[in-house]
Structure 1
Amino acid sequence: MAAGIVVVQQYQRMVVQRFGSYVGTQGPGLRLLIPILYHGTKVDLRERVTRVPTQKYITADNVVVDMDFVIYYRVMEEWADRAVLEVQNFEAAVINLAFATLRSVIGSLDLSTTLSERERIRDDVQVRMDEVTSRWGVKVSQVEINEVDPPVGVKAAMERQKSADAIRTAEITESEGQRQAAINVAEGEKQSAILKAEGQRQSEILQAEGDQQAAVLRAEGFSAALERIYTVASTVDARTMSLQYFDTLKSLGSSPSTKFIFPMEFTSMLTPFLGMGSMNQQDSGSGNNRPNSGNGSASDGETRN
């Protein structure tokens, strides 16, 4: 640069001043500056990663915690002149601003929130830093909190609390499992009872339908038998029926009973046989009277006998 020849890299920009006044920003390439008249300052546009050392921070409930975090930031190309003209050392300014911003954020939160909401802390720090670093031409792209370390006594209490919470969660889970198991058993028994009742009902329905069909078939068979009997009986004469009655009387006579009850229709059934008997007697009587026709008195006497 003393000779007036300057090489600007691709990731750099050069802020040029003439007699101390800003005249422009030049891009990458070979640049010629007249010594004493012009002065150039290179600015690196690449993203920087700075790990902020562990510091002690006090929470809203007066608990001291140790924290360390990492900042990702870079100089914006369109604001490269600000990184030279607006701040003496923008890197040191960003780191010190990060300390102050994180203390402010942690001071507004209690310990439990600090330990559980790292993303919220990260976002708050990034937003607050952006509001300040923009005037330096610097953009804070990301803030990551590596570790939050509470005091030893607080850590032991937290471990006991975690152990108690784990035991409570295990007991709740076990009781929920037992309750769900009991519900499942009850549901199974209920479904089993329903299926058994349904099966019994279907069995009874089928049995009733079977009994009904059997009764219908028996009735139809009995009706057919009666129709057959009636058809056969309608062709039987009175004499045949009388013979059936005599056969029945024969069966009754062989039994030890001493009393018999006969329907009134029985005498009418015997009328043909009684008529046949009287006709036979008349025929025999007339045969006996023919040899003695010449002797009327003898015939009369025999007839009376």
Structure 2
Amino acid sequence: MAILIVLALVVIFAIVLLAKTVKIIPQARAGIVERFGKYHGTLTPGLNVIVPFMDKVRYMIDMREQVVTFPPQPVITEDNLTVSIDTVIYFQVNDPIAATYEIANYIQAVEQLTMTTLRNIAGGMDLEQTLTSRERINTGLSTVLDEATGRWGIKVKRVEVKSIDPPVSIKDAMEKQMRADRDKRASILTAEGQRQSAILTAEGNKQSAILNAEGAREAQILRAQADRESSILRAQGEGQAIQTVFQAIHDGSPDQSLLAYQYLQMLPKIAEGDANKLWIVPSEIGKALEGLGSTLSDMKGIPANSGGPAKRVDLGPTEPALSSPDRARSEADAAVQAAIAEANASANGIREQVQQVEPPVDPSADA
């Protein structure tokens, strides 16, 4: 029985001895070995053997890059405003021996160093610069921490400012200021839009007025040209008509007989009309007709008898040339003689009708 107890004790001692001798270090970690309280060596990842009861793995250092976030720290800016800044630090242990023996707690040391450096940097800037200078704060923190933690065996990879929170009253004032700035920019943009709209509208009205004026001017010019052409054509037509009539008169060699015939032709037109119910023919109509020719013959330019062929008036290229002037003159004379004979016949007929209608005049009554 005693032998079994001894064997059991030996087995337990062997197991403990083996556990004290063999050390397994995980990947990306380093073990700091002390012998009798003094640094003896550094264990690398894998299976390691140490002297039991003499060597001891005092610290296990994580060699991976670590991310440490610190609670928001109150910082006073240059314009005496307190802001809360939250930071994040990325660092890595390069020298496990220095990280173990040069600093007692490198995490706490980095936090305090970050706090003091952040207050130093933000103390030299006002609130607006602090809120808009994140990159400047990050760069300043990285430089100071890298210089300070180099002797601790720590490499600061990156420093980031998570948030910068000003006081609530400052937030309200900033929001009001930003709202006022946005309202100002909106008003400016609205005014510029209205100005551009008014300018474009005025330019459009100007162009429309110019085009309307040009159109009215062109229309007036065209109407004036049309009126001028119409007046010219009308005047030319009237001139040609007058020339034609004048030519016909000259061709006919008019005398007092033709004028008497024209007068007789106007007599029936006097009786025309619905209002002419009664037409009184004077008894002296015959004598009036006989003296009409002699009276009109005294007019300037109208002879009592035509003295031979009349001189032809040239009407220009619009009038066809006469192939036989003598024949045309003879035809005109025949037409005039026929008109005179018709006028005499009409005058005789009218004289007879008057004599039949009018009672005989008693000469003794006049006496």
Residues 185-233 of structure 1: CA deviation (Å, up to 9, x unaligned): 3454566578x48x96xx89xx9xxx9xxxxxxxxxxxxxxxxxxxxxx
User: Is 1:153 aligned with 2:169?
Assistant: yes
Residues 135-193 of structure 1: CA deviation (Å, up to 9, x unaligned): 22222233332332323433333233223223222211211221222233345456657
User: Is 1:33 aligned with 2:50?
Assistant: yes
- C-alpha change, 1:9 and 1:189, in structure 2 (3 Å) is farther
Cα contact 2:74–2:82 (8 A) shared by 1: yes
Structure with larger Rg? 2
How do residues 269-280 of structure 1 correspond to structure 2 at under 5 angstroms? Answer: none
- TM-score w.r.t. structure 1 length? 0.59
- C-alpha change, 1:272 and 1:117, in structure 2 (3 Å) is closer
Q: Structure 1 vs Structure 2: percent identity of aligned residues?
A: 37
Q: Secondary structure at the match of 1:180?
A: helix
Q: Secondary structure at the match of 2:157?
A: strand
Q: Secondary structure at the match of 1:101?
A: helix
Number of the residue aligned with 2:20: 3
- C-alpha change, 1:264 and 1:165, in structure 2 (3 Å) is closer
Number of the residue aligned with 2:184: 168
User: Is 1:54 aligned with 2:72?
Assistant: yes
User: Is 1:129 aligned with 2:145?
Assistant: yes
- C-alpha change, 1:187 and 1:34, in structure 2 (3 Å) is farther
Residues 239-283 of structure 1: CA deviation (Å, up to 9, x unaligned): xxxxxx9997149787989749x76999xx99996xxxxxxxxxx
Number of the residue aligned with 2:271: none
User: Is 1:44 aligned with 2:46?
Assistant: no
- Superposition CA RMSD, Å: 4.5
Number of the residue aligned with 1:84: 100
**Shift of residue 112, structure 1, vs aligned partner:** 1.5
Cα contact 2:32–2:39 (8 A) shared by 1: no
* Alpha-carbon separation, structure 2, partners of 1:98 and 1:135: 16
Cα contact 1:33–1:39 (8 A) shared by 2: no
Aligned with 1:68 (options 74, 86, 105): 86
Q: Secondary structure at the match of 1:3?
A: helix
* Alpha-carbon separation, structure 2, partners of 1:60 and 1:191: 60
Amino acid corresponding to residue 106 of structure 1 in structure 2 = A
Q: Secondary structure at the match of 1:53?
A: coil
* Alpha-carbon separation, structure 1, partners of 2:197 and 2:128: 37
Number of the residue aligned with 1:302: none
Q: Which moved more, 1:251-260 or 1:40-49?
A: 251-260
How do residues 104-119 of structure 1 correspond to structure 2 at under 5 angstroms? Answer: 104-119=120-135
- Structure 1 unaligned runs (5+)? 212-244, 274-305
Residues 41-92 of structure 1: CA deviation (Å, up to 9, x unaligned): 431122322221122211111112222222222223xx33332232222111
- C-alpha change, 1:67 and 1:111, in structure 2 (3 Å) is same
User: Is 1:97 aligned with 2:113?
Assistant: yes
* Alpha-carbon separation, structure 1, partners of 2:323 and 2:20: 167
User: Is 1:12 aligned with 2:29?
Assistant: yes
- TM-score w.r.t. structure 2 length? 0.51
Cα contact 1:25–1:81 (8 A) shared by 2: no
- C-alpha change, 1:251 and 1:103, in structure 2 (3 Å) is farther
Equivalent pairs counted in the alignment come to 236
- C-alpha change, 1:246 and 1:46, in structure 2 (3 Å) is closer
**Shift of residue 120, structure 1, vs aligned partner:** 2.3
* Alpha-carbon separation, structure 2, partners of 1:140 and 1:30: 30
- Structure 2 unaligned runs (5+)? 1-17, 227-246, 263-298, 303-309, 315-321, 327-367
Q: Secondary structure at the match of 2:70?
A: strand
Amino acid corresponding to residue 23 of structure 2 in structure 1 = V
Amino acid corresponding to residue 21 of structure 2 in structure 1 = G
**Shift of residue 25, structure 1, vs aligned partner:** 6.1
